[in-house]
Amino acid sequence: MSPWVLRGLRNGVVTTRWPARPDPYASGWRGPATVLDPAAGEGADGLEGLCPTGAISTQPDGAGPDGAERDGTQPDGAERDGAERDGAERDGAERDGAERADRGRVRLDQGKCILCGRCVGARPDVFGWSTGPGAAALTRGGLVVPEIPGTAENLAAIRDGLRARTAALQRSVHLRHVDAGSDGAEEQEIYALLGPVYDVHRLGIFFTASPRHADVLLVTGAGARGMIAPLRRTFDGMPDPKIVIAVGTDAVSGGLVSPSYATTGGVSDTVGVDVWLPGSPPSPFSILHALLLALGRLPTVQQTAVQQTAVRQAAERQTAERRTQRRDQGEGQ
Ligand code: SF4
Protein backbone atom coordinates (compact mmCIF):
# COMPACT_ATOMS: atom_id res chain seq x y z
CA MET A 1 0.00 0.00 0.00
CA SER A 2 1.34 3.42 -0.84
CA PRO A 3 2.77 5.26 2.18
CA TRP A 4 0.80 8.26 0.98
CA VAL A 5 -2.49 6.46 1.68
CA LEU A 6 -1.42 5.77 5.26
CA ARG A 7 -0.13 9.32 5.62
CA GLY A 8 -3.42 10.73 4.31
CA LEU A 9 -5.46 8.55 6.68
CA ARG A 10 -3.29 9.53 9.62
CA ASN A 11 -2.93 13.26 9.01
CA GLY A 12 -6.02 14.10 7.02
CA VAL A 13 -4.02 16.72 5.08
CA VAL A 14 -2.53 15.48 1.84
CA THR A 15 -1.35 18.36 -0.33
CA THR A 16 2.17 19.53 0.36
CA ARG A 17 2.77 23.29 0.56
CA TRP A 18 6.42 22.89 -0.38
CA PRO A 19 8.34 25.04 -1.33
CA ALA A 20 6.21 27.86 0.13
CA ARG A 21 6.25 26.02 3.47
CA PRO A 22 8.65 23.44 4.83
CA ASP A 23 7.74 19.79 4.49
CA PRO A 24 9.68 17.31 6.65
CA TYR A 25 8.83 14.57 4.17
CA ALA A 26 10.56 16.52 1.37
CA SER A 27 13.72 16.79 3.42
CA GLY A 28 13.69 13.09 4.26
CA TRP A 29 13.89 11.84 0.65
CA ARG A 30 17.10 10.03 -0.18
CA GLY A 31 18.99 11.49 -3.12
CA PRO A 32 22.08 10.30 -5.02
CA ALA A 33 25.21 9.23 -3.14
CA THR A 34 27.60 11.95 -2.07
CA VAL A 35 31.17 12.23 -0.78
CA LEU A 36 31.32 12.81 2.97
CA ASP A 37 35.07 13.19 3.18
CA PRO A 38 37.03 13.51 -0.09
CA ALA A 39 40.35 13.06 1.71
CA ALA A 40 39.28 9.90 3.56
CA GLY A 41 39.70 7.82 0.43
CA GLU A 42 43.20 9.06 -0.35
CA GLY A 43 45.56 6.25 -1.11
CA ALA A 44 42.78 3.67 -0.91
CA ASP A 45 42.67 1.26 -3.84
CA GLY A 46 39.52 -0.01 -5.45
CA LEU A 47 37.18 2.91 -4.76
CA GLU A 48 36.52 3.44 -8.48
CA GLY A 49 35.75 -0.26 -8.91
CA LEU A 50 32.94 -0.02 -6.37
CA CYS A 51 30.63 1.81 -8.72
CA PRO A 52 28.90 -0.10 -11.55
CA THR A 53 28.35 3.09 -13.54
CA GLY A 54 31.78 4.66 -13.10
CA ALA A 55 30.47 7.58 -11.04
CA ILE A 56 33.42 7.52 -8.66
CA SER A 57 36.84 8.82 -9.63
CA THR A 58 39.96 9.33 -7.58
CA GLN A 59 42.05 11.08 -10.17
CA PRO A 60 40.21 14.05 -11.62
CA ASP A 61 41.44 14.78 -15.08
CA GLY A 62 40.50 17.77 -17.21
CA ALA A 63 36.93 18.76 -16.37
CA GLY A 64 36.23 16.01 -13.84
CA PRO A 65 34.27 12.80 -14.47
CA ASP A 66 33.76 12.42 -18.20
CA GLY A 67 30.04 13.13 -18.19
CA ALA A 68 30.73 16.66 -16.99
CA GLU A 69 32.85 17.36 -20.05
CA ARG A 70 29.80 17.05 -22.30
CA ASP A 71 28.61 20.48 -21.14
CA GLY A 72 30.32 22.00 -24.13
CA THR A 73 29.24 19.56 -26.82
CA GLN A 74 25.49 19.86 -26.89
CA PRO A 75 23.47 20.83 -29.93
CA ASP A 76 21.18 23.87 -29.59
CA GLY A 77 21.62 24.08 -25.84
CA ALA A 78 25.28 24.66 -26.48
CA GLU A 79 24.44 27.38 -28.99
CA ARG A 80 22.01 28.99 -26.59
CA ASP A 81 24.56 28.84 -23.81
CA GLY A 82 27.52 29.98 -25.89
CA ALA A 83 28.30 32.99 -23.72
CA GLU A 84 28.28 30.94 -20.55
CA ARG A 85 30.50 28.29 -22.09
CA ASP A 86 33.03 30.93 -23.13
CA GLY A 87 33.19 31.93 -19.49
CA ALA A 88 33.76 28.33 -18.52
CA GLU A 89 36.60 28.01 -21.05
CA ARG A 90 38.24 31.17 -19.74
CA ASP A 91 38.30 29.61 -16.31
CA GLY A 92 39.60 26.31 -17.65
CA ALA A 93 43.29 26.94 -17.04
CA GLU A 94 42.71 27.96 -13.41
CA ARG A 95 40.45 24.98 -12.89
CA ASP A 96 43.03 22.59 -14.32
CA GLY A 97 45.62 23.94 -11.91
CA ALA A 98 43.31 23.53 -8.94
CA GLU A 99 42.44 20.00 -10.03
CA ARG A 100 46.06 19.00 -10.27
CA ALA A 101 46.36 20.02 -6.60
CA ASP A 102 43.20 18.01 -5.95
CA ARG A 103 44.53 14.86 -7.62
CA GLY A 104 44.05 11.70 -5.62
CA ARG A 105 40.95 12.92 -3.79
CA VAL A 106 37.62 11.22 -4.32
CA ARG A 107 34.99 12.73 -6.62
CA LEU A 108 31.53 11.42 -7.32
CA ASP A 109 29.42 12.27 -10.36
CA GLN A 110 25.83 12.23 -9.11
CA GLY A 111 24.70 12.35 -12.74
CA LYS A 112 25.80 8.71 -13.01
CA CYS A 113 24.53 7.49 -9.63
CA ILE A 114 21.77 4.89 -9.78
CA LEU A 115 21.49 4.71 -5.96
CA CYS A 116 22.62 1.09 -5.80
CA GLY A 117 24.27 1.70 -2.42
CA ARG A 118 27.47 -0.26 -3.02
CA CYS A 119 29.78 2.65 -2.21
CA VAL A 120 27.84 3.65 0.92
CA GLY A 121 27.80 0.05 2.15
CA ALA A 122 31.50 -0.58 1.48
CA ARG A 123 32.95 2.75 2.63
CA PRO A 124 30.54 4.59 4.94
CA ASP A 125 33.47 6.74 6.09
CA VAL A 126 33.84 8.20 2.57
CA PHE A 127 30.35 8.03 1.03
CA GLY A 128 26.83 8.76 2.26
CA TRP A 129 23.40 9.66 0.92
CA SER A 130 22.34 13.17 0.03
CA THR A 131 18.92 14.10 1.34
CA GLY A 132 16.22 16.56 0.39
CA PRO A 133 14.82 17.62 -2.95
CA GLY A 134 17.65 19.90 -4.12
CA ALA A 135 19.37 17.45 -6.48
CA ALA A 136 19.05 19.36 -9.76
CA ALA A 137 21.84 21.48 -11.26
CA LEU A 138 22.06 24.05 -14.05
CA THR A 139 25.27 22.54 -15.43
CA ARG A 140 26.40 18.97 -15.92
CA GLY A 141 29.55 19.76 -13.94
CA GLY A 142 27.36 20.99 -11.09
CA LEU A 143 26.44 17.37 -10.32
CA VAL A 144 30.00 16.49 -9.37
CA VAL A 145 30.83 16.41 -5.64
CA PRO A 146 32.94 17.89 -4.26
CA GLU A 147 32.39 20.78 -6.64
CA ILE A 148 34.84 21.22 -9.52
CA PRO A 149 36.73 24.50 -8.97
CA GLY A 150 35.24 27.23 -11.15
CA THR A 151 31.70 25.81 -11.19
CA ALA A 152 30.29 28.33 -8.71
CA GLU A 153 31.74 31.26 -10.66
CA ASN A 154 29.98 30.24 -13.88
CA LEU A 155 26.72 29.39 -12.20
CA ALA A 156 25.57 32.96 -11.64
CA ALA A 157 25.97 33.81 -15.36
CA ILE A 158 24.10 30.67 -16.39
CA ARG A 159 21.29 31.34 -13.92
CA ASP A 160 20.96 34.94 -15.16
CA GLY A 161 20.83 33.75 -18.77
CA LEU A 162 18.13 31.21 -17.96
CA ARG A 163 16.12 33.76 -15.99
CA ALA A 164 16.23 36.17 -18.94
CA ARG A 165 14.95 33.41 -21.26
CA THR A 166 12.16 32.33 -18.94
CA ALA A 167 11.03 35.79 -17.83
CA ALA A 168 7.86 35.42 -19.91
CA LEU A 169 6.88 32.14 -18.21
CA GLN A 170 5.89 33.45 -14.83
CA ARG A 171 2.24 32.55 -14.30
CA SER A 172 1.32 29.51 -16.34
CA VAL A 173 3.73 26.90 -17.66
CA HIS A 174 3.00 23.87 -19.81
CA LEU A 175 5.10 20.71 -19.82
CA ARG A 176 5.57 18.13 -22.53
CA HIS A 177 7.05 14.80 -21.50
CA VAL A 178 9.00 12.52 -23.84
CA ASP A 179 10.12 9.02 -22.87
CA ALA A 180 13.42 8.43 -24.65
CA GLY A 181 14.00 4.86 -23.53
CA SER A 182 13.00 4.94 -19.87
CA ASP A 183 12.35 1.90 -17.66
CA GLY A 184 9.14 3.58 -16.46
CA ALA A 185 10.35 4.57 -12.99
CA GLU A 186 10.68 8.28 -13.75
CA GLU A 187 7.24 8.29 -15.34
CA GLN A 188 5.66 7.08 -12.09
CA GLU A 189 7.22 10.01 -10.23
CA ILE A 190 6.19 12.51 -12.92
CA TYR A 191 2.60 11.25 -12.84
CA ALA A 192 2.61 11.65 -9.05
CA LEU A 193 2.94 15.40 -9.61
CA LEU A 194 -0.65 15.41 -10.83
CA GLY A 195 -2.01 13.68 -7.72
CA PRO A 196 -3.45 15.41 -4.65
CA VAL A 197 -0.21 15.19 -2.68
CA TYR A 198 1.98 17.30 -4.96
CA ASP A 199 -0.78 18.91 -7.05
CA VAL A 200 1.51 20.70 -9.48
CA HIS A 201 -1.46 22.72 -10.75
CA ARG A 202 -1.33 24.79 -7.56
CA LEU A 203 1.92 26.25 -8.95
CA GLY A 204 0.41 27.08 -12.34
CA ILE A 205 2.17 24.13 -13.99
CA PHE A 206 0.21 21.92 -16.41
CA PHE A 207 0.92 19.06 -18.80
CA THR A 208 0.10 19.34 -22.48
CA ALA A 209 0.02 16.77 -25.25
CA SER A 210 1.13 19.21 -27.94
CA PRO A 211 4.71 20.46 -28.31
CA ARG A 212 3.23 23.62 -29.88
CA HIS A 213 1.74 24.53 -26.49
CA ALA A 214 4.70 23.46 -24.38
CA ASP A 215 7.23 25.66 -22.59
CA VAL A 216 9.20 22.93 -20.84
CA LEU A 217 10.33 19.56 -22.20
CA LEU A 218 10.77 16.82 -19.60
CA VAL A 219 12.90 14.04 -21.07
CA THR A 220 13.35 10.66 -19.39
CA GLY A 221 15.26 7.57 -20.49
CA ALA A 222 18.79 6.75 -21.54
CA GLY A 223 18.45 8.28 -25.02
CA ALA A 224 17.25 5.37 -27.14
CA ARG A 225 18.54 5.71 -30.69
CA GLY A 226 15.05 5.02 -32.01
CA MET A 227 13.79 8.07 -30.15
CA ILE A 228 16.36 10.52 -31.54
CA ALA A 229 14.13 11.70 -34.39
CA PRO A 230 10.86 11.93 -32.38
CA LEU A 231 12.62 13.76 -29.56
CA ARG A 232 14.23 16.14 -31.99
CA ARG A 233 10.88 16.77 -33.74
CA THR A 234 9.20 17.51 -30.40
CA PHE A 235 11.95 19.91 -29.43
CA ASP A 236 11.84 21.67 -32.81
CA GLY A 237 8.04 21.94 -32.57
CA MET A 238 8.13 23.87 -29.31
CA PRO A 239 8.00 27.66 -29.44
CA ASP A 240 10.72 29.81 -27.86
CA PRO A 241 11.53 30.27 -25.07
CA LYS A 242 11.79 26.58 -24.28
CA ILE A 243 13.52 24.73 -21.49
CA VAL A 244 14.75 21.14 -21.44
CA ILE A 245 15.02 19.16 -18.21
CA ALA A 246 16.79 15.79 -18.21
CA VAL A 247 14.84 13.82 -15.59
CA GLY A 248 16.71 10.97 -13.91
CA THR A 249 20.18 9.49 -14.04
CA ASP A 250 19.41 7.65 -17.28
CA ALA A 251 18.52 10.89 -19.05
CA VAL A 252 21.54 12.69 -17.59
CA SER A 253 24.22 10.12 -18.38
CA GLY A 254 22.65 6.95 -19.72
CA GLY A 255 22.97 5.18 -16.38
CA LEU A 256 23.91 1.50 -16.41
CA VAL A 257 23.24 0.77 -20.05
CA SER A 258 24.97 3.54 -21.93
CA PRO A 259 26.44 4.23 -24.29
CA SER A 260 25.51 1.18 -26.29
CA TYR A 261 24.29 0.08 -29.71
CA ALA A 262 20.76 1.02 -28.57
CA THR A 263 21.31 4.19 -26.53
CA THR A 264 23.23 7.41 -26.93
CA GLY A 265 24.36 7.85 -23.34
CA GLY A 266 21.86 10.42 -22.11
CA VAL A 267 19.56 12.83 -23.89
CA SER A 268 22.03 15.73 -24.16
CA ASP A 269 23.42 14.14 -27.33
CA THR A 270 20.06 14.86 -28.98
CA VAL A 271 18.74 18.06 -27.36
CA GLY A 272 20.42 20.79 -25.34
CA VAL A 273 19.73 20.35 -21.63
CA ASP A 274 19.14 23.33 -19.34
CA VAL A 275 18.52 21.55 -16.03
CA TRP A 276 20.09 18.23 -15.01
CA LEU A 277 18.22 16.14 -12.47
CA PRO A 278 19.89 12.93 -11.25
CA GLY A 279 18.14 10.16 -9.32
CA SER A 280 17.01 6.68 -10.15
CA PRO A 281 14.26 7.73 -10.11
CA PRO A 282 14.23 11.29 -8.73
CA SER A 283 11.48 11.97 -6.19
CA PRO A 284 8.49 14.13 -7.18
CA PHE A 285 9.90 16.77 -4.82
CA SER A 286 13.15 16.73 -6.81
CA ILE A 287 11.24 17.10 -10.09
CA LEU A 288 9.38 20.07 -8.59
CA HIS A 289 12.73 21.49 -7.50
CA ALA A 290 14.12 21.14 -11.03
CA LEU A 291 11.04 22.83 -12.52
CA LEU A 292 11.16 25.73 -10.09
CA LEU A 293 14.93 26.04 -10.57
CA ALA A 294 14.41 26.28 -14.32
CA LEU A 295 11.69 28.90 -13.90
CA GLY A 296 13.65 30.95 -11.37
CA ARG A 297 10.91 30.47 -8.79
CA LEU A 298 12.83 28.88 -5.94
CA PRO A 299 12.84 30.79 -2.65
CA THR A 300 15.96 32.83 -1.90
CA VAL A 301 18.89 31.33 -0.04
CA GLN A 302 17.84 33.16 3.13
CA GLN A 303 14.30 31.80 2.95
CA THR A 304 15.68 28.33 2.27
CA ALA A 305 17.88 28.50 5.38
CA VAL A 306 14.86 29.51 7.47
CA GLN A 307 12.87 26.64 5.95
CA GLN A 308 15.63 24.15 6.67
CA THR A 309 15.72 25.26 10.29
CA ALA A 310 11.93 24.91 10.53
CA VAL A 311 12.08 21.47 8.93
CA ARG A 312 14.78 20.33 11.32
CA GLN A 313 12.81 21.60 14.29
CA ALA A 314 9.64 19.87 13.05
CA ALA A 315 11.55 16.61 12.55
CA GLU A 316 13.05 16.88 16.04
CA ARG A 317 9.59 17.55 17.47
CA GLN A 318 8.19 14.49 15.70
CA THR A 319 11.06 12.32 16.93
CA ALA A 320 10.53 13.52 20.50
CA GLU A 321 6.79 12.85 20.25
CA ARG A 322 7.39 9.33 18.91
CA ARG A 323 9.90 8.68 21.68
CA THR A 324 7.40 9.85 24.30
CA GLN A 325 4.67 7.70 22.76
CA ARG A 326 6.91 4.63 22.79
CA ARG A 327 7.90 5.28 26.42
CA ASP A 328 4.25 5.74 27.44
CA GLN A 329 3.31 2.52 25.66
CA GLY A 330 6.16 0.68 27.39
CA GLU A 331 5.06 1.92 30.81
CA GLY A 332 1.44 0.97 30.08
CA GLN A 333 2.35 -2.68 29.47
S1 SF4 B 1 25.32 4.43 -4.94
FE2 SF4 B 1 25.99 2.92 -6.51
S3 SF4 B 1 25.79 4.03 -8.46
FE4 SF4 B 1 25.75 5.58 -6.83
S5 SF4 B 1 27.89 6.25 -6.67
FE6 SF4 B 1 27.56 4.62 -5.13
S7 SF4 B 1 28.22 2.73 -6.18
FE8 SF4 B 1 27.91 4.31 -7.77
Question: Ligand 1 atom 8: the closest Cα is on which residue?
Answer: 51
Amino acid 1: pLDDT: 60
| pLDDT over 70, % of the chain | 73
Residue with the bigger pLDDT between 250 and 95: it is 250
Contact between 166 and 295 under an 8 Å Cβ cutoff? The reply is yes
Q: Please state the atom number of ligand 1 nearest to the C-alpha of residue 50.
A: 7
Residue with the bigger pLDDT between 162 and 186: it is 186
Residue 308 has pLDDT above 60, yes or no: no
- The sheet carrying 144-145 orders its strands as 56-57, 107-109, 144-145
Range in 41-50, 141-150, 210-219 the model is least confident about:
41-50
Q: Ligand 1 mean position to 35 CA, how many Å?
A: 11
Contact between 271 and 244 under an 8 Å Cβ cutoff? The reply is yes
Per-residue pLDDT reduced to its tens digit, 188-230: 999 999 988 899 999 999 999 999 999 999 999 999 999 999 9
Question: Ligand 1 atom 7: the closest Cα is on which residue?
Answer: 51
Amino acid 92: pLDDT: 45
Question: Ligand 1 atom 2: the closest Cα is on which residue?
Answer: 116
Q: Look at the alpha carbons of 203, 3, 33, 51 in this order and tell me if their dihedral is positive or negative.
A: negative
Q: Please state the atom number of ligand 1 nearest to the C-alpha of residue 108.
A: 5
Contact between 275 and 219 under an 8 Å Cβ cutoff? The reply is no
Amino acid 151: pLDDT: 62
Pocket of ligand 1 (CB under 6 A): 33, 50-51, 53, 55-56, 108, 113-119
Residue 103 has pLDDT above 60, yes or no: no
- d(CA 308, CA 57) in angstroms, rounded, equals 31
Choose the residue to mutate in 51, 256, 280 for probing ligand 1, maximizing ligand atoms within 8 Å of C-beta. Answer: 51
| Confidence bin at 89 (pLDDT 50/70/90) | very low
Choose the residue to mutate in 47, 106, 115, 143 for probing ligand 1, maximizing ligand atoms within 8 Å of C-beta. Answer: 115
Range in 38-47, 66-75, 265-274 the model is least confident about:
66-75
- d(CA 275, CA 260) in angstroms, rounded, equals 24
What is the β-pairing status of strands 275-277 and 216-220? Answer: unpaired
Residue 142 DSSP class = G
Choose the residue to mutate in 57, 116, 129, 130 for probing ligand 1, maximizing ligand atoms within 8 Å of C-beta. Answer: 116
Q: Please state the atom number of ligand 1 nearest to the C-alpha of residue 56.
A: 5
Q: Ligand 1 mean position to 51 CA, how many Å?
A: 5
Q: Ligand 1 mean position to 109 CA, how many Å?
A: 9
Question: Ligand 1 atom 3: the closest Cα is on which residue?
Answer: 113
264: exposed, middle or buried (Cβ count in 10 Å: 0-12, 13-18, 19+): buried
Q: What is the mean pLDDT of the chain?
A: 78
For each of the domains in the chain, give its residue range(s) and CATH number, in order of start: 18-29+75-99+132-298 (3.40.50.12280)
Taking residues 105-134, what's their average pLDDT?
A: 88
Q: Please state the atom number of ligand 1 nearest to the C-alpha of residue 32.
A: 4
Q: Ligand 1 mean position to 140 CA, how many Å?
A: 17
Taking residues 231-251, what's their average pLDDT?
A: 93
